[in-house]
Amino acid sequence: MALVRQVCLKALPRQQKLLVNQVCAASNAADLRSALAEKIPQVQEEVKAFRKEHGNTKVGEITVDMMYGGMRGMKGLVTETSVLDADEGIRFRGYTIPECQELLPRAPGGGEPLPEGLFWLLVTGEIPTAEQVKSLSEDWASRAELPSHVVTMLNNFPSHLHPMSQLVAAVAALNSESKFANAYSQGVHKSKYWETTFEDSMDLIAKLPVVAATIYNNLYREGAPPCPIDTSKDWSYNFTEMIGYKDATFTELMRLYLTIHSDHEGGNVSAHATHLVGSALSDPYLSFGAGMCGLAGPLHGLANQEVLVFMNKVKDAVGLDATDDQMKEFVWSLLKSGQVVPGYGHAVLRKTDPRYTCQREFALKHLPDDKMFKLVSQLYMLVPPILMETGKVKNPWPNVDAHSGVLLQYYGMKEMNYYTVLFGVSRALGVTSSLVWDRALGLPLERPKSMSTQGLKKLVGA
């Protein structure tokens, strides 16, 4: 359905596209839970029929290299919310990032999509109306309050504890509120697991900006408590207000940022970890906490922090007005010392990440003369040929993390240790949408077979 609509919509101008989407979405319920409840039986039937007919059909082969190589390319997961194409990049329920920028509802006077709309799309597969998105903003605003023990815990963390560790700990402690864990302990029927998983996901998403703002304010704003939530405003607006940012363009950046970092199909570390832990029927707080432990790794979400460290090193070593040759020499010296160039490369993508491109477009529009942005652009020209020259890097192009830090610091957010927390707040939208569907489709405990090298040698006759 999404694909058909997407093809038909391609030729229409924005106003007409919006109209088509609103007509389509008008058949949907006003609130997300009802829209989801309508959808689940249809998809359950579809999957049941598909498995009945094709349950034994082979979808690929597994090589020894795949087993030692981090399961690259191994088809082993079903994730409904988004699909990553190596050349084109991510599609959220069939929609590219530029299509989402065009079709998803925006804040009054704004130019970027609201993450609420993206969440609706990820959960239901439908582009929501402006009214549906507004009701979601209000719903999240009404769920935002933190239990006092989480606030106390956050306020007592030492300032040298990394913001991602603080986030993980706070998310785990929030499971005192888990409706899923409570319903499970009461013996709820498994056909209803998705209902409390959905409620926990909504609560978690609503509370995350408050957790993230408390961490930020404790570390960088002398413990100022986050200001109260304005229930008439959207999720991103409230977040930027709580951390003391008043620039409307920064709020717009945050809307874009929180939309594009949300989901990247199912096999990336944070999505897979959330899904894996969720498959043990751990509640959504614990499952998401596991995903955040993975996001905190430098080869995954921490790369956005690493990029800024790298850029500052470049700046210190060769200056902002360095020549291309000086810059190349710096990059080579980094590679020769056995380090990676953060923000470049990807396990799946083989072209420039469209999440990089849309941030670049934002920068071209709002900060074209910023020196650090110019440095990012210079690296964009210089790094890919160098990585290609190494002969081993499969994707020399920039990923999402190569750009975000420079935008954030332009608006005054210079605390790079914090950047991955922003990524985490956004990633909640994707991984919890998937978790709800995991429960709706009754996906079982994940338990792939592992082998020893000896066993594998024997199997292949080595």
The residues binding ligand AMX (CB under 6 A) are 268, 299-301, 303, 335, 340-347, 387, 392-395, 399-401
Residues 6+ away with beta carbon under 8 Å from 239 = 209, 212, 213, 254, 258, 425
Query: Given the complex with ligand AMX, which of 255 and 355 has the nearer CB atom?
Result: 355
Q: What are residue 113's DSSP bridge partners?
A: 106
Query: Given the complex with ligand AMX, which of 28 and 399 has the nearer CB atom?
Result: 399
Q: Are 244 and 224 in contact (CB under 8 A)?
A: yes
Query: Given the complex with ligand AMX, which of 199 and 353 has the nearer CB atom?
Result: 353
In the bound complex, which residue of the shown chain has the CB atom lying closest to ligand AMX? 345
Query: Given the complex with ligand AMX, which of 36 and 347 has the nearer CB atom?
Result: 347
Least distance (Å) from ligand AMX to the CB of residue 253?
18
**Strands annotated E in 74-161:** 82-85, 89-92
DSSP, res 95: B
Least distance (Å) from ligand AMX to the CB of residue 343?
5
Q: Are 355 and 261 in contact (CB under 8 A)?
A: yes
- What H or E segment, with its residue span, contains residue 195? helix 193-220
Distance between CA atoms of residues 280 and 97, nearest Å: 32
Tell me how many degrees the CA angle 456-459-462 measures, rounded to the nearest 5. 80
Q: Are 429 and 64 in contact (CB under 8 A)?
A: no
What are the φ and ψ backbone dihedral angles of 94, each rounded to 5 degrees?
A: 95, -10
Least distance (Å) from ligand AMX to the CB of residue 100?
19
Q: What are residue 83's DSSP bridge partners?
A: 91
Least distance (Å) from ligand AMX to the CB of residue 302?
8
Distance between CA atoms of residues 240 and 75, nearest Å: 39
Identify whether 160 is a catalytic site residue: no
Identify whether 353 is a catalytic site residue: no
Catalytic residue among 261, 300, 353, 403: 300
Least distance (Å) from ligand AMX to the CB of residue 428?
15
Least distance (Å) from ligand AMX to the CB of residue 385?
13
Exposure of 342 in the CB half-sphere (CA atoms within 13 A): 22
DSSP, res 232: T
Catalytic residue among 261, 264, 346, 403: 346
SS3 at position 114: coil
SS3 at position 14: helix
Query: Given the complex with ligand AMX, which of 340 and 441 has the nearer CB atom?
Result: 340
Query: Given the complex with ligand AMX, which of 239 and 397 has the nearer CB atom?
Result: 397
Query: Given the complex with ligand AMX, which of 303 and 435 has the nearer CB atom?
Result: 303
Distance between CA atoms of residues 284 and 272, nearest Å: 13
Least distance (Å) from ligand AMX to the CB of residue 298?
7
- Could you tell me the sign of the dihedral formed by the alpha carbons of 19, 24, 28, 32, in that order? negative
Active-site annotation, residues:
300, 346, 401
